[in-house]
Structure 1
Amino acid sequence: MFLFILIRLSTKMAEYVAPVAAKIVADKANKYASPYFGYFFSYEKIVKDFTNERNALKLRKQRVDTDVRDAKNQTEVIYEDVEDWLRRAKQELEETQNLQDEIDRVKCFKWCAKWGWRYGLSKKLAEKTPIISKLLETSNFAQVGYRRSLQGIEFITSTDFMDSESSKSALNQIMEAIKVVNMIGLHGMPGVGKTTLAKEVGKHAREQKLFEKVVMFTMSQNPNIRTIQDKVAEMFGLNFRTNTEEGRAEELWSRLKVEKHILIIIDDLWDEFKLESIGIPFGDDHKGCKILLTTRQQQVCSKMKCQKEIQLGILSKDEAWVLFRDQAGLDDDWSSLNEVAKEVAGECKGLPLAIVTVAKALKDKSLDEWRDANQRFKDSTHLYDEEVLGGVLEPLKLSYDYLKKGNNQMTGNHIQMCFLLCSLFPEDAEIPIHILIVCGIGVGLFPNASSIEDKRKRIGEALKKIQKSGLLLETDGAERIRMHDVVRDFAHWLTSTGENRFMVKDKLKEWPDMVESFEGYTAIALWNCSSNIKNFPDKVEFSKLKTLFLQGESKWDGLLVVSSTFFEEMKALQVLKLEGVYFSLKGFNSLPNLKTLWCENCKLENLSSSLTSMRSLEILALIATKIDEISEELVKLSALKYLRLYDGFASGVMKIPPKLVSRYDIVVGGLDFSFGEELTIRRLRIENFSSSLSAFKNLFCNVGELKLRKVSGLKNIVPSIGKKVLNELTSLELDSCNDMEFLTDITRDQESTITFSNLVELTIRGMVSLKGLCYSLSPSHRAIASYTILKVVTIGSCPKLKTIFSPCLAQSMLCIEELYIRHCSGLEQVIGFAQEEEITKNDSRRCCCPKLRILEIFHCKSLKYVCANTLTQGLQSLESVKISDCPQLMQIFKMEQNENGEDVAVPQLLNCKKLRYIFSPTTARSLSHLVVLTIEGCEEIEQLILAKGQVSSSSSNGGLQPISFPNLTNATITNCRNLKSLFPFGSVPVLPKLECLEVKSNSKLEQVFELVDESKVVPEEEMEFDQLRKLSLKELPSLIHFGLKGYHFVLSALEDLKVRNCPKLTTSFSIDSQEFVHCKTKV
């Protein structure tokens, strides 16, 4: 008021006072009132500034959210200032949402706001805008996270760890010793459990917090210093700046000295070794660094000057039997089988590795098979003379032989060959399963399998069988396996003579002495060959060789150069795996039997001119390999079934012949064969690609599965890739293609060409620019984007997506069964209702998603509705709906009033803070499928079922049957602060199958059951809940009664009753002689 008086005063004075004096007074008034005048007269500018800044903040927050998500995917730790900025940005956007809503409402209704309202809003906006601007100024983060140094391997007790007297004694000795000495040696024979015990030491050391870091690595017979340095550096978050082993050792030395207390476990040390060559400070250089080493030989401990030497002995007879019995799945009762089993266990000589492998091999076998195994042990005592393997060899031989059991001769042999192929890899290597599969296919395993897919499946099954036998070990990843070094030694013993002779060499600096005949070898693996290898021959005679692995040393300064004539005398060669090699294919004219050619990080010459000679080639992989070109000659390889092209070459110009793409599974990207995955149709995968896809235009024809990941520059699928070429597509996966806005953009194309007509599965993730599936879709365009057989849709992390399906698009999806939506922050509606005018009169009779069974929507903070009322009658198959953390959700189905009702189950609603009710009366009457109901954190919900008086007359029907939930067995309702009652109670049992009811922290809840018609109350009428076993009522300060006034509830099956903090509850509970619970509420 003072403001207006002051303004009027300055104006009146101008009429009576001298002009100069009047001007002085007016200027003073304007100066005092200028900010307040600004709120009136700069309203439009203030609104514009606020809107622009707020929109910029939303976009910047989405960008930072995406960066944070990517960083977390890379296991990075997010900086605290970034977390704080996101928290403040989120808070500011939430606090200003009401202001934005007011602005939008004025624009929508085009009315002129009152001066008082205009002043108030303008003042609030003017106060908020600089706060938002400040947030934008502080949002330019160079990076949002950092790599946390790893904590070391997870020292979890192995399921094979035997808590024996020997292991307990050794463990206690080690735990005492590491407190007083710097180096401890643990020695014992192979297979006795040294590695497992060392891991147990690491676990105890971590639990007792004796060290800041516990690091474990394996040395093996031919240690790879660089690999060990990389592993240790990763644990400490160190990125090397130098490339030489010496320079890296110096860096690692300096980094480790920063840590006060470190335990380093060196597993499987074979000889004296200088720790400083890795970069491990020790002794006087770092008194806080303790070393535990394991070795097969006691003299290694002496050479390393261990201050404490501990021997791990074998298991006692009783301990061995307990471990054997558990692994073989035997009970402890006396039986003929157990008697034989005890003899077999005794033959394992107390070695845990032997016990485990033999027990697993004989598990679930018949008594005759046990007796046969026992006899074979007794007949094979000569094998114990083997120096390296000792008493473990014969148990391993038994497990190896048992790989044939239950299979015909050929199948058994092929399973054993899968096992032997694993021994071609370096010691302690994690073996990629897809490499084993392509090698197995190449050497002709399982020839009766008709297709490459069937062969792959059979080889995968064989590897699983070998794993179950105990001869192969799992790794942290499902796509790799590992072979214990003792088992690998055993495999090498098997292949040292006989029909299948293998040779494996590592760190080859000089070609092996040719005094030994190479004629008999069928498989050779040469790993880490020096690029300056001495005496590398131009030609060798390996007439029986079927498999050759040749790997150059991993160095920056050059590839291993191989002569073009090197392969000429390998006429039987079937599998050739090359890595880090520079060679010409001219000599391949003499390789008519080659089936698998796998090249990684190689440089190839004369590929095109040599292709015609490789008529048997089935698998060709060129990975990060430089080639001259891919010519039409490749089409003539009639046996070729799998072609993989990846990296290196793809960055240049590549022309792929049109005829090449009709029958292959092609990969342009980083995915490999996956273990056990069926490959039945042609796939195309393109990853990490930023150039035009025109180089691949011929690949899209007749593709069955298409995956695009991190492909930039692509605005859409159609028309960018094409329409007709995608008609065979059954699966489409799009991931992090940040420029894509729509799958289909038909604004410039009015043709009625059908696309996606065979699409069954659609997956979209991390598409930050995606606005919709189809742009400018109208009824006339329905034929252009057809999803008539689409069954599964998964959409996640698409922040700009507001509506997923238009009504007419949703009506075309007659087969969709599952819909999953996650983290779409801008999503407002799943099926749009703003375009309902698009639906014609004939369309209105069509069902929307009539086969939809599962609907899950999580973390969509802007979602208001799932779909419009006119479309909900099609959801008659819906069985499961889970909606969580959708704070703006007001109704599941907008204006839910259809007369037919939906047979819908809504088992889970979590943190939908604006939802006011769940079901309309019509919907509630049709819930025959509802089995589980969970509602949590829906703060605004007032009633589960909308009251009859709140439903429009068009949907009310007095003749409908009473509301009940005939199949509901479990109901949980928590943290719904405005909820006053739960279930309506009429003339029929409302919950005949209810077994569990949990109600907690609903502050306004007054009654669990609400009487529909109080005039029909029958005093003391008995109502039985004969299925209810658990009833929990907790933290309900307003609850007055559980049962209905005047009714007598009998809970004949109740086993668990909990009532806590319900101060106003008037219902009494009692137990009769039959242990039935009765509850009564007085009128």
Structure 2
Amino acid sequence: MSGFGYTIDTTRSLKIEEVFPYNAFSQLLGNLESLEVSKIKDEYVECLTNKTQPKVSVSMILRNLKLVRIDYCKNLKVVFQMEEVEENEAPLLSNLKILRLQRLPDLSCIWELPTQHVRLESLVELTILHCPRLKSLFSLSLAQSLVLLEKLEIIYCPELKQTVTELEGDKGEISHTINSHTSLSFPKLTKLYISTCDGLEYIFPTQHVRLESLVVLTIKKFPRLKSLFSLSLAQSLVQLKRLDISYCDEMKQIVTELEGDEGEISPTINSHNSLCFPELGDVSISNCYGLEYIFPTSMSPQGLQGLTLNVEACSQLKQVFRVAKDRVGNDSMLQHQQFLRSLSSFSVKRCPLLTDLVVHLEAKKASIKGVRLSAFKESFKTSKQLEVREIQDLECLVDTTKNGPTSAFTHLETLFMEDMDGLEALCKGQPPQGFLKNLKHLEVGECCKLQVH
């Protein structure tokens, strides 16, 4: 059945555009499972609120709904709204599987419901797009009911302060319900994508969060984000395969491990709780101007096997791998050097402070652009493919005139060099043993001082 501005299919699916014809089929709403609404001008969706005089129990509608999509309703302030619920009623929204809200410029609250009567235990996908006035997503009790949530996507919610509400009252006290004994787990969450949330300082409020099924994490345009993971959260990421971080201006560390302002290593980090991301295969980080290092001190030497690492425009980045001062030169350092040799691909662009002073880097494929390659004196000597561009301070790849290496670039098969104004030679002095013996492809451009003998 269809009419002007609405379509209804088998009395269980309803699509509304511009006007909600509530009286026309109010008696059919009790069986409604799918609701799609767009371009209505009201401050509420009539069948999702009991502020009017509903002909059908709103509780019944909310219990049966499995899918809700609301798009471009410019005056909508609240999605689900009930002032009172009978004590013995079944949980509301317990069958809701998919919720998609987009282009709702006035939306300030999703759930205006007695939270003790709401359970989101069936919710699998939640997408929030372009809701600029939305302040928070979940209360703690709602978040704890998300046992089946697989995908969470939040894009352009600049006033979003919290994903999970942790404050009560107007004075900003931390809720007594969040403490060291409270854990928050999303056991099925595999994909988390958050972009352009200017007001967020962190993703989750409590230190005791677990995301053991998370596979893909994308974080973009978080100007106030200081760090991404607590140590305990990072330790739960055993399925994480891809990590993409960009435009997080104030982020200094990905995993929180520092105390105070002087940079001491937290005493909670030791050999018994080291980090390992066994499935992590792809990390991309760009335009994080405050980031000083990528992997923390607590990183296990066995982690990151075969990792592809891409880093660009991180002006304060000093090290890929941070090592505490008291660990330099000991056995732990040797282990860390060994594990970094397992990188599959390493690409770095416009990171002027980056160096391998502490931990040497090795990768089968390395691409370097706009950095001080002379700071990588001991790295990439076993690479099979090496690309270097726009590096002004490098005079040669290898210098044996001052007790240089006895072996270097013996595995290199492809060498590409471009815009290397200071490069004078591939090797100064006597070439080391096996130097470039496996080289199959050499490409050179705009290296005006280079002399090849």
Length-normalised TM-score, structure 1: 0.31
1:701 pairs with one of 15, 24, 30: 30
Residue 1066 (structure 1) shift: 9.1
Residue 809 (structure 1) shift: 1.3
For the structure 1 residues 1060 and 977, does the alpha-carbon distance in structure 2 shift closer, same or farther, using more than 3 Å as the test?
same
**Structure 1 Cα separation of the partners of residues 373 and 361 of structure 2:** 25
Matched, 1:740 2:76: yes
Residue 943 (structure 1) shift: 1.7
Q: Letter of the 1:867 partner, please give it.
A: F
For the structure 1 residues 816 and 967, does the alpha-carbon distance in structure 2 shift closer, same or farther, using more than 3 Å as the test?
farther
Residues 561-960 of structure 1: pairs in structure 2 closer than 5 A: 643-647=1-5, 666=8, 682-689=12-19, 693-715=22-44, 717-719=48-50, 722-749=58-85, 751=87, 753-775=90-112, 781-782=115-116, 784-834=117-167, 837=175, 839=177, 844-845=182-183, 847-872=184-209, 874-893=210-229, 896-898=230-232, 901-903=235-237, 904-905=240-241, 907-920=243-256, 925-946=275-296
For the structure 1 residues 746 and 916, does the alpha-carbon distance in structure 2 shift closer, same or farther, using more than 3 Å as the test?
farther
| 1:441 equivalent in structure 2 | none
**Structure 2 Cα separation of the partners of residues 830 and 965 of structure 1:** 30
SS at match of 1:944: strand
For the structure 1 residues 914 and 687, does the alpha-carbon distance in structure 2 shift closer, same or farther, using more than 3 Å as the test?
same
Q: Letter of the 2:216 partner, please give it.
A: S
Residue 868 (structure 1) shift: 1.8
Residue 828 (structure 1) shift: 2.7
**Structure 1 Cα separation of the partners of residues 128 and 35 of structure 2:** 16
Matched, 1:1035 2:351: no
Residue 1003 (structure 1) shift: 2.1
Residue 934 (structure 1) shift: 0.3
**Structure 2 Cα separation of the partners of residues 692 and 805 of structure 1:** 30
SS at match of 1:878: coil
| 2:442 equivalent in structure 1 | none
Residue 938 (structure 1) shift: 0.7
Matched, 1:990 2:325: no
Residues 383-422 of structure 1: pairs in structure 2 closer than 5 A: none
Residue 925 (structure 1) shift: 0.9
Contact 1:924 1:945 in 2 (8 A): no
Q: Alpha-carbon deviations, 1:350-370, whole Å to 9, x = none? A: xxxxxxxxxxxxxxxxxxxxx
Identity of counterpart residues, as a percentage? 21
Residues 522-541 of structure 1: pairs in structure 2 closer than 5 A: none
For the structure 1 residues 1058 and 769, does the alpha-carbon distance in structure 2 shift closer, same or farther, using more than 3 Å as the test?
same
For the structure 1 residues 681 and 966, does the alpha-carbon distance in structure 2 shift closer, same or farther, using more than 3 Å as the test?
farther
Q: Letter of the 2:201 partner, please give it.
A: K
Residues 249-264 of structure 1: pairs in structure 2 closer than 5 A: none
Larger Rg: 1
SS at match of 2:154: strand
Residue 1006 (structure 1) shift: 2.6
Residue 851 (structure 1) shift: 1.2
Residue 1070 (structure 1) shift: 3.7
Residue 1039 (structure 1) shift: 5.8
Contact 1:704 1:729 in 2 (8 A): yes
**Structure 1 Cα separation of the partners of residues 278 and 35 of structure 2:** 40
Q: Give the helix-richer structure, 1 or 2.
A: 1
Residue 718 (structure 1) shift: 3.8
Residues 1011-1026 of structure 1: pairs in structure 2 closer than 5 A: 1011=359
Q: Where does structure 1 differ by over 4 angstroms across 4 or more consecutive aligned residues?
A: 746-750, 840-843, 921-924, 1064-1067
**Structure 2 Cα separation of the partners of residues 1006 and 805 of structure 1:** 42
Residue 852 (structure 1) shift: 0.7
SS at match of 2:185: coil
Length-normalised TM-score, structure 2: 0.71
Residue 908 (structure 1) shift: 0.7
Contact 2:11 2:28 in 1 (8 A): no
Contact 1:810 1:831 in 2 (8 A): yes
Q: Letter of the 2:126 partner, please give it.
A: V
Q: Letter of the 2:60 partner, please give it.
A: K
Q: Give the strand-richer structure, 1 or 2.
A: 2
Contact 2:93 2:120 in 1 (8 A): yes
Q: Alpha-carbon deviations, 1:625-669, whole Å to 9, x = none? A: xxxxxxxxxxxxxxxxxx22234xx8xxxxxxxxxxxxxx716xx
Q: Alpha-carbon deviations, 1:115-159, whole Å to 9, x = none? A: xxxxxxxxxxxxxxxxxxxxxxxxxxxxxxxxxxxxxxxxxxxxx
| 1:146 equivalent in structure 2 | none
Contact 1:1050 1:1076 in 2 (8 A): no
Segments of structure 2 that go 5 or more residues without pairing to the other structure are 169-173, 258-268, 323-332, 399-407, 411-433, 440-453
Matched, 1:981 2:319: yes
Residue 837 (structure 1) shift: 2.3
Contact 1:666 1:684 in 2 (8 A): yes
Matched, 1:1061 2:413: no
Residue 939 (structure 1) shift: 0.7
**Structure 2 Cα separation of the partners of residues 916 and 997 of structure 1:** 21
Residue 743 (structure 1) shift: 2.7
For the structure 1 residues 750 and 941, does the alpha-carbon distance in structure 2 shift closer, same or farther, using more than 3 Å as the test?
farther
**Structure 2 Cα separation of the partners of residues 1040 and 899 of structure 1:** 33
SS at match of 2:107: coil
Residues 6-155 of structure 1: pairs in structure 2 closer than 5 A: none
SS at match of 1:1003: coil
Residue 795 (structure 1) shift: 0.7
| 2:349 equivalent in structure 1 | 1000
Q: Alpha-carbon deviations, 1:745-795, whole Å to 9, x = none? A: 345446454221111111000111212322365xxx33x221101111111
Q: Letter of the 2:252 partner, please give it.
A: R
SS at match of 2:303: coil
Residues 445-524 of structure 1: pairs in structure 2 closer than 5 A: none
For the structure 1 residues 726 and 901, does the alpha-carbon distance in structure 2 shift closer, same or farther, using more than 3 Å as the test?
same
2:358 pairs with one of 1010, 1025, 1029: 1010
SS at match of 2:31: coil
Residue 1010 (structure 1) shift: 3.1
For the structure 1 residues 865 and 842, does the alpha-carbon distance in structure 2 shift closer, same or farther, using more than 3 Å as the test?
closer
Count of aligned residue pairs for this structure pair: 367
Contact 1:1040 1:1066 in 2 (8 A): no
Contact 1:700 1:726 in 2 (8 A): no
**Structure 1 Cα separation of the partners of residues 365 and 373 of structure 2:** 21
